[in-house]
Amino acid sequence: MSTPSSSAEVGVIGGSGFYSFLDDAEEVIVDTPYGPPSDPITIGELAGRRVAFVPRHGRDHRFPPHRIPYRANLWALRSLGVRQVLAPSAVGSLTPDHGPGTLAVPDQLTDRTRNRTQTYYDDGAAIHISFSDPYCPAGRQTVLASARTAGWPPVDGGTLVVIEGPRFSTRAESKWFAAQGWTLIGMTGHPEAVLARELALCYTPLCLVTDFDAGVEEGEGVTMEEVYRVFGENIDRLRTLVTDVIASLPAERTCPCPRTLDGMKLPLELP
């Protein structure tokens, strides 16, 4: 179980390359009503803030995208005091305008998953949250400003379509997604974003483009080897950016996210 001293204000949900970026880190076991998170939470100091890190896929990458314990991960972070969440991830590009190495900060999300539990409120009451704008506006502006200062011009806006996985898209699927005007494709951004909103957390994506999706260019198509290679080439840059963003996040949340659940009679008690 967590203890009051094992607390944090900012959460990071990420993958390889982020495990050792915290100073004076400690591991914390957190029990949740939804089972254990992907792995013990690591808490430490970074940029003058207390930060909690959860490895999205588990340290040994044992959870494929459709089996990640999303509800446990977000619940565990909130129970530790986290109210602002940064979510770096690898994504594919659905447009030739955003090549590998591009940093994108989408402002919209489309759900094309099939079998993922995407709510905490599936019993006891009908709770309908606002999700018209799925990401924290203050968090997005902080990422955009930090990236520009760092000399990594970001793509401001766009739609991330989240697919079930773990397979990549067919060319026909990819071309259909692009025809809808969607610009990025990934496998983990949903239900993370909606679960964070249901807990009144600020949630901000940092999307690193690692490849062109299958329908964008002719050739072999997307491979894991290519995704890992490009992500590895950019991980230091991404980790530095996350550190800069953490240092710049507002201490007081004046965005709409904290007020998401105002006036609602919830069927469960939030941590």
- The CA distance from 117 to 165, in Å, is 15
- Catalytic residue (one of 213, 236, 244, 262): 213
211 carries an active-site annotation: yes
- The CA distance from 225 to 228, in Å, is 5
Q: If you search the block for the tokens 């995704």, which residue do you land on?
A: 227
CA distances from 167 to 1, 66, 75 (A): 36, 11, 28
DSSP states of 133-153: S-S-HHHHHHHHHHHHHTT-P
- Please give the span between the terminal C-alpha atoms of the chain, in angstroms, as a whole number: 13
- The CA distance from 189 to 148, in Å, is 23
DSSP states of 37-51: -SSPEEEEEETTEEE
- Catalytic residue (one of 156, 211, 244, 262): 211
- The CA distance from 69 to 82, in Å, is 18
DSSP states of 64-124: -GGG--HHHHHHHHHHTT--EEEEEEEEEESSTTS-TT-EEE-SEEEEE-SS----S-SSS
111 carries an active-site annotation: no
Helix (H) or strand (E) holding 175: helix 171-179
Q: CB–CB of 160/186 below 8 Å?
A: yes
Both tokens assigned to 233 = 């080439």
* Active site residues per annotation: 211, 213
